């Protein structure tokens, strides 16, 4: 025997590959990690220098750290102990496992690069491709006085799922927003993208007390840490175009632990949105019809596909128009410290029933702030003008006169009318063109009339500004 040991070629290849991986792991990975962290920190520093509201450390903390902090939060553990002590229910270990699942579901995984480099770019491209996006009005003087250290909460009316993109685009020069997103978005890979953009998931109408406590503590922790958030107080999309009554859950979570003498105020900024066309308008209206048959997935797919094919065909033919104007207004900020001071309340010291009375009053004030600055877009204006004339056919001149009267009434009530190009005739023309292109209004022999079966849809757009029109 010559002492030679023979090994199979495949074994030598596997050993060489493992050796290379070991070398990378021991020598190269620490250096690459350091370079990556350096680039990320440099990007964060660069972004913070241009943002009006800086990224808070809480938002930049590793996700797993936040998950663990939420799981072992004193109030969450107390809720677990209370349920485990009832007897006959799940064990403490089972309850803690449920808490971990809830925390993993709720806590976002914010990625600075994805938000500002990819998310913003994509949101801007989509929004600008579909609409003429405009910032109509902002209370600049009051907004400039907002304390940069305050926890800022954008409270918005909910017209469309496009709201997320629209406000993200218009607020990106000021801050990064953290949204509460419903369960509709918990599908792969959308949920991973949404988490990376800093949003957290909310189970609407969940009756699970333990889940509600975990959600409450996450929102409270984020608010106390000064994370800039965006909330839809209505809790869902408007079905008929009107502002809905506010829901109190998230607002209560943000305010119940607020210390009026603390170092950080909570500033609510009313944000009002309106569109010349809401992509979901017919679906939203149909949801109000209790007798409507449930539509199948195949029908929905065919409808969406048909809509896309029709629009692409119009683009190819050069006859396609964007879906009109999408306008956003920013109202006067509402300081929680000032609000509780004026009302002489301390929400920390109240039982739930008493606290909810005051939270409801605060929510009504927030919705009133939103309502005051709802943009009057061309389609909402002309839809109202057409409905004001009833079933009568009217000339373009008569319709313009009706629209002018509406403008006078709106201006008298302090409404914010968006007039593109500062040209009223152009605004009226744009609104009328949108309605005739969609065949909600028809023109024959120079006279315009609402299509009878489309009057509910005209009402949907008119309802967006109904609260701004004083009764005659």
Mean pLDDT in consecutive groups of 10 residues from the start of the chain, 472 residues: 61 67 59 51 57 72 90 94 78 92 89 79 88 90 87 94 86 78 66 74 83 94 92 92 93 94 94 95 88 70 73 76 92 96 94 95 97 96 93 91 94 94 92 94 92 95 93 63
Whole-number pLDDT of residue 5: 59
CATH fold of 376-468, please? Arc Repressor Mutant, subunit A (1.10.10)
Q: How many CB atoms lie within 10 A of CB 285?
A: 18
Whole-number pLDDT of residue 385: 95
Asked if 450 and 441 touch (Cβ cutoff 8 Å), the reply is yes
Asked if 257 and 142 touch (Cβ cutoff 8 Å), the reply is no
Radius of gyration of the chain, Cα coordinates, nearest whole angstrom: 27
Give this prediction's pTM: 0.86
Whole-number pLDDT of residue 27: 57
CA 378 to chain centre: 23
Q: How far apart are CA 176 and CA 34, in angstroms?
A: 25
Task: Encode pLDDT of 269-326 as tens digits.
Answer: 999 999 999 999 999 999 888 777 777 667 666 776 777 787 777 778 777 778 999 9
Whole-number pLDDT of residue 10: 66
Structure tokens given for 190: 């959308």
Q: How far apart are CA 426 and CA 416, in angstroms?
A: 17
Whole-number pLDDT of residue 53: 66
Whole-number pLDDT of residue 449: 93
Domain boundaries, the chain: 6-50, 106-279+323-373, 376-468
CATH fold of 106-279+323-373, please? Glycerol-3-phosphate (1)-acyltransferase (3.40.1130)
**Rounded to 5 degrees, what are φ and ψ at 395?**
-80, 165
Asked if 104 and 67 touch (Cβ cutoff 8 Å), the reply is yes
Whole-number pLDDT of residue 322: 86
Whole-number pLDDT of residue 56: 77
Task: Encode pLDDT of 182-227 as tens digits.
Answer: 766 666 666 676 777 778 888 877 888 999 999 999 999 999 999 9
């Amino acid at each position: 025997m010559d002492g030679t040991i023979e090994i199979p070629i495949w074994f030598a290849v596997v050993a060489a590959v493992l050796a290379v991986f070991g070398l990378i792991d021991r020598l190269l990975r620490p250096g690459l990690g350091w370079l990556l962290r350096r680039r990320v920190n440099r990007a964060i520093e660069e972004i913070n220098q241009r943002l009006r509201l800086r990224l808070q450390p809480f938002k930049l903390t590793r996700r797993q750290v936040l998950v663990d902090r939420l799981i072992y939060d004193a109030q969450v553990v107390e809720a677990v102990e209370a349920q485990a002590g009832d007897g006959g229910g799940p064990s403490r270990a089972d309850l803690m496992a449920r808490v971990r699942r809830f925390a993993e579901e709720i806590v976002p995984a914010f990625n600075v690069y994805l938000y500002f480099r990819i998310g913003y770019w994509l949101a801007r491209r989509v929004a600008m491709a579909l609409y003429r996006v405009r910032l109509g009005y902002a209370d600049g003087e009051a907004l400039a006085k907002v304390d940069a250290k305050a926890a800022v909460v954008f409270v918005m009316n909910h017209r469309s799922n496009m709201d997320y993109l629209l406000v993200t685009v218009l607020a990106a020069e000021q801050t990064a927003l953290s949204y509460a997103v419903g369960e509709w978005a918990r599908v792969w890979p959308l949920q991973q993208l949404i988490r990376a953009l800093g949003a957290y998931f909310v189970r609407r109408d969940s009756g699970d007390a333990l889940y509600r406590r975990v959600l409450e503590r996450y929102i409270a922790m984020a608010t106390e840490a000064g994370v800039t958030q965006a909330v839809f107080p209505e809790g869902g999309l408007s079905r008929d175009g009107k502002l809905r009554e506010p829901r109190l859950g998230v607002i209560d979570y943000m305010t119940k632990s607020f210390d009026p003498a603390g170092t950080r105020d909570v500033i609510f900024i009313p944000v009002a949105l309106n569109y010349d066309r809401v992509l979901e308008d017919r679906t939203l209206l149909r949801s109000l019809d209790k007798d409507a048959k449930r539509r199948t997935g195949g029908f929905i797919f065919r409808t969406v596909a048909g809509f896309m094919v029709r629009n692409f065909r119009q683009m190819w033919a050069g006859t396609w128009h964007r879906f009109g104007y999408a306008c956003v207004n920013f109202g006067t900020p509402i300081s929680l410290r000032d609000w509780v001071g004026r009302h002489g309340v301390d929400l920390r010291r109240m039982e739930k029933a008493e606290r909810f009375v005051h939270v409801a009053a605060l929510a009504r004030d927030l919705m009133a702030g939103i309502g005051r600055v709802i943009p009057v877009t061309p389609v909402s204006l002309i839809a109202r003008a057409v409905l004001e004339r009833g079933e009568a056919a009217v000339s373009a001149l008569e319709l313009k006169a009706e629209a002018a009267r509406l403008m006078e009434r709106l201006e008298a009530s302090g409404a914010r009318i968006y007039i593109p190009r500062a040209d009223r005739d152009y605004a009226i023309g744009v609104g009328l063109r949108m309605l005739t292109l969609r065949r909600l209004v028809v023109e024959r022999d120079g006279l315009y009339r609402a299509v009878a079966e489309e009057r509910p849809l005209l009402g949907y757009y008119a309802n967006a500004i109904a609260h701004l029109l004083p009764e005659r």
